[in-house]
Each structure stands twice: as C-alpha cells, then as structure tokens.
Structure 1
Amino acid sequence: MARQRAKARRTWGKVEQLPSGSYRASYVGPDEKRHKAPYTFQTATDADTWLSLMRADITRGVWVNPNAAKAQSFGAYAEAYIEQRVTGRGSVLRPKTAAGYRHQLKKGLAAFADMPLDDITPAAVRTWHVERCKTAKTSAASEARLLRAVLNVAREDGIITDNPVHQKFTKSSAGNKYRPPTLDELAVLHAQVEPRFKLGVLLAAYGGLRLSEWRALRRSDLTRDEVRFVISVTRQAQHITGQGWVVGPPKSDEGVRIVTLPTHLTATIVKHLGEYAADGAEGLLFAPLGGSQFIHDSAFNKSWGIAQDAAGVKGQVREHDLRRFAASHLHAVGASVVAVRDFLGHADERVTMKHYLRVVSSNQGEFADKMPVLPSPLTAGAETET
C-alpha cells in the first residue's frame, strides 16, 4: 500500500526498483524520448531527487540532451571546463593557469581533441600514456591530471559513467629531484648572477618571493625602520603567450603578504635602489632593459643558468628552490610551521593576516636575523672547488 501511495504522488518521471534492490530513474524529455539516469540509486528518494533536478533543468530551459552530450568532443568540453572552472575560493582560473591548460590540450592531449567523450576508454588512455611517456614522462603525468579532471566533471554531468583515466597515470615518476641550495652554493649563485638580478636572488632566498613577485615590486612596496626593510607582496607579473604581460595578485589570493627581511640585507637593498631601481615611488625595483614592461623570464634565466653552472647545481637547484631555502632555514632557527606558512603566503588570506600580523609584531624580525649570513663568494667558491 505504501508503495502504491508513493507511485500515486509521482506526477513526472518513472522510478523502478531493480532486482539488485537499487532504483533506476527515467523520464520523457522535450525530445519526446525516454532518458534513463546514467547510474542507479540506493533509495527511491535519491531517484526522485534526480528527477526533480532534470525537471528543473527542462523548466529553466537549460536541459541538455544526454545523447547529444555524449557526442560532444573532448576538445570542446575541455575548453568549456577551462572557461567555467573556479578555484576553491570561487575565483576563475589565473590567466597563466588557463594558458597552461590550453597548451596541454594542443600538445600532449591533442590525440583526444576530436574524440567523443564516451569514446575515451581505459585502453585508449593507456595506449596514449605509454606513447607519451616515451618522449615526456613528466608532461604525461600533468596532462593525465588535466584529462582526469575534465572527465571527472563529465562523469558528474552524467555524460560518462566512469572515469577512464587511472590515478596511477597522474603521478610523476620521472624528472630531477630538485632541492634548495646549500649556503655556500647560494653564495656562488648570488656572486655569479648579473648585478641587476642579485637582489632578486636574495629576496627569493631570504624573503621567499617568487620571480613573478619580485620583478613586479615597486619602491612604494618597501618600508624601512631604523634597521630593516619590510616588503608588501601584493602583485605578480606574468608574461603569457598571446596575451602579453598580466599583472594581478600573487599566485593565489592567499599569497598577499608582508615579508620582514633580515637586517644584513639593508645595505644591499639601499645600494640596489640607488643603482638599478626606476625613479619615483611607483618605479620598479627591477627596471627592465629595452621596451619590455617587466624583466622577462628569459632574461633572468640566461643569467641564472650561468650562475648554476658556476655553482655546479644545474638540474638540481631552480630559482624556485630559493623559496625552499628560505622556508627550511626559517624553520631551522625556530620559526613554527605556522610562521613559515604565513611567511610564504600559503594560507587562506584571512588566516594569513590574522597569524601574520601577530608574528610580525612579535618575532618575525628575530627569526629573519637568525638566518645565516651569506659568506663571501671567494670563500664559498674555494670550499666548493675542494
């Protein structure tokens, strides 16, 4: 009797209980054809809920014919994924992130571009992965992560029932194991890089700034008390192929932060301001040569490569690993994990500001001063040679 009453109350769609005990939902769409849910449900209530969502889509005019959706190509669906994806904080993808995804679609994932979503099988993914790994193992892993992410959404949309990309394909098993430099290696790197980039290396190693952040610094971002400088890191500058320079918040909104520098860098900063920074409060600390708006990656990387060779760390220490140097040494001299997290800008912005201000007002300067002073390049070079 209870089941009959439940059926009587349903005015749209159909729910059937299968021999397995699960429930299958179906409905007649605007195309006057019956469409089944792409999966079964544990309870009749869940099946009814799904039917309600389908009916709401039809009412609002946003219903998509499942059969037509299945025929949609991966390339078109992936482009929509990039356009519509938002971060955990509800922000759209950064321009550089979106550009990176599109590059992967055009390169490593091009084999799937014209393939219908439901034609991408585990066997097809496995074959692609084997071939891709022959020439680019690390790229194959990152491309597989994007492929899996896009198809996860397709599964959530009911276009496919299972994700054909096994998680094992998304793990990088190749590539160099990078590390932060030793103190002596850092001294050689700093000594060998072009003079106009020396402060950038120090800001990365002692302030945890990314290249995209320190090249965007302006004089107004620096404040000085009697003994030290403090930097406001509020923006980054990235060059994106086809778009040019894009200036925005740091890598994530959480990256907006205040960085207290060691006192032993004060004289170096003053010297740099006098020799290399552009004039005026809004003048760039790292004025580019020629007509570029900011210092381009290629300009720094050429000089950085020479320094890497001199220090013997090519393929071991990247510019980004200077941030790891900063983090590890701050932690080694007593800074808590929370303090280091705030220093690098890895927390939620509200949490960052709450903890960061407390650290700045108490002992961040003390931690900064405990970081090791850079030895002279001659001494470091001699020790490196032996």
Structure 2
Amino acid sequence: MYNIEVKATSGNYPIYIKNGLLKDIGEGVKNIYNGKKIAVITDANVNELYGAKVIASLKEVGFESFKIVVKAGEESKSFGTLLEVYDKLLDYKINRGDMIIALGGGVVGDMAGFAASTFLRGISLIQIPTTLLAQVDSSVGGKVAVDLPRGKNLVGSFYMPKAVFIDPMLLRTLNDKFFNDGMGEVIKYGAIKDKELFYKLMNYENKEDLLKEIDRIIYTCCTIKANIVEVDEKDTGERMLLNYGHTIGHAIEQFFNFTKYSHGEAVAMGMYAITKLGEELGKTEIGTSIAIKDILKRYNLPWRLPEIKSEDIIRAIRHDKKNIGEAMNFILIKSIGNSFIEKINEDKINDYMQKILKKTTI
C-alpha cells in the first residue's frame, strides 16, 4: 500500500493506494467517518461493476447506504443532473452530518464533488476513482465542477475530500480506449515534472507490463499533484502547470460537443500543439515536440489537431479559467520534465493559434 498525506490549507486528507482495496472499503471508510448515512453517487456503467459491492461493504460495517445512479458520460456534468442528485439527497434525508461517496471516473467525481460542496452548504466527501484518469488526477486536489454550454468546468469550487481511496485493480476492467485516455494525464505529469517517469513510460513492452507497476505510477502522479496543491491550492500560480495541454484540449472537447474526443485524447492533441508552439516561439527545446508525439503514438493517443478554425478555438479559450485580465496563461515546457507559465496578451493569441493550426492540423 502507498499512503500520501495531502497538506492543504483547508484541511489535510489521506490518499490510499492499494490493489484490492475496494473489497474492504467499508472498513476503510469507518476508520475516518463515524456518521451513519452515506449516499454513493455513481454512473450506470460503474454501478454494474461495483455498485452492489460497495453498498454491501458499507452496510456490513453498519452504515445506512444509498445509491444515486446517473447516466454515464460528460453530459452528466450538468445542472440538470445536479438538480436530480439534490432531489435524491433530499429523498434520502441526507443532512450535514452525513457523507457523499463519489464512485466513478472524472465526470462522477467532479459532479458528485460539486454536489457535496454545495448541498446544505457542504457535506463530507470521499472520492473512490475507478478510471486511470481519475486515479492519477481528477480525484486529487479538490477541484469539483459542472459544465456550462459555453465551456467546461465553468461553475465549480475547491472542496477537499476527507479521503481518496484508489484501487489500481479496477483498471483491469477498463477497455483500451479508456485506459489510454488516462495515460494522457500520466504522460502530462512526466512532461511537466518528471523526466524519469516520461521515459520510463516509453520503455514498457506492453500494457500488461505497465499494469504490473501501475500502483507505483499512480503514486508518482498523485505525489506530484499533492506537492503542487500544497503550495497553490486555489490555482493561482504553480498549480496552473497541471493544465499543460488542457487549454487547447478543452476547446477541442467543447467544439465537438464532448462527443468526438475523450478528455485524454483532447489533452494529448493539446500537449503536442502547445509544445510545437513553444518551439516556434523559441521557448521550448527543438525536438521536444517529437518526444511528445512519439509517446502519444505509443499509447494510441492522437497528436495532430482536427480540422478546426482558429476563431473557434479562440472563442472557446476566451472562457478559460486561466485568463487573467488582458493576458492568458499558457503552460509550456522548456524540455521534458521542465514546465513553466507563459503569459500571452490577448491581441497575440489569434496569430499564435494560426501558427499552431498550420503546424499541427490533420
């Protein structure tokens, strides 16, 4: 087992990483929560695999537990779904002394986390991520949100969980597309902070070899994120580095209505595009984009941008949460493992977007 203690200004909490952890989740929750009622929020896909097991484990140790099952997919990160969840919480008479468990991938974690942060002005939350993307990234750090039609994660809050329970064995039920989706975020961590991790990922012979060490990889990514969150909980400085590839990635997701590309695929294209721009601007070592392209191809992730007009990307990124005044913060890397924040004035963004599209579009 790997344990990480996240020392946030709003409160410390543990991350537990252990193969097979889910089968004893009731005992794990009981060690940190002495209330009675727990609402488990999950989606239809995860519910089929693990919903009954989690409820049974919680009831076995004395919790009164309920399931709230939402539709799988990004569309559940909406105010419509949120209102349905609030109604169910009221039906179950959940109060401020009770708890929500988010059981699922990034969509469930974000939406259920936002529900916990706002229902009755905040009730306790535990994250149990079931996808690689959620295990290495979205379940850690307290960012919770829902989408608006005009952009992703535009309504949200910073709300730390009481604990994060990660069972790497759950990843064996993921198909290759969803596994590779999470690898986009794993690659991000190597690119921005850990050169050794990046090149180690290049050397695995196959998925099975990688899975043998996936608990260690998850621990490495979570440790990087925990260290960053501890110094910049509210995302005003160093934490922005975690958005490498995301500014363009979110714009791609939004342009295609969250249906054509997964989050990891969109971020993958964003990482290559922004690295290519960094080389064009003389801010990134020449050849770095080739390394990014090679590792994305190794994990069957796209690297070229789809056909999209520069004005459509610009329209989307104007709503990016990293915008400050007249400037936008882009995350660049000087070299693999060495990232930095580059402020770009709004009047230059159009020229830069056209450069990116010219160099990276299919």
Normalised TM-score (structure 2):
0.29
Normalised TM-score (structure 1):
0.28
Comparing both structures, which one devotes a greater share of its residues to strand? 2
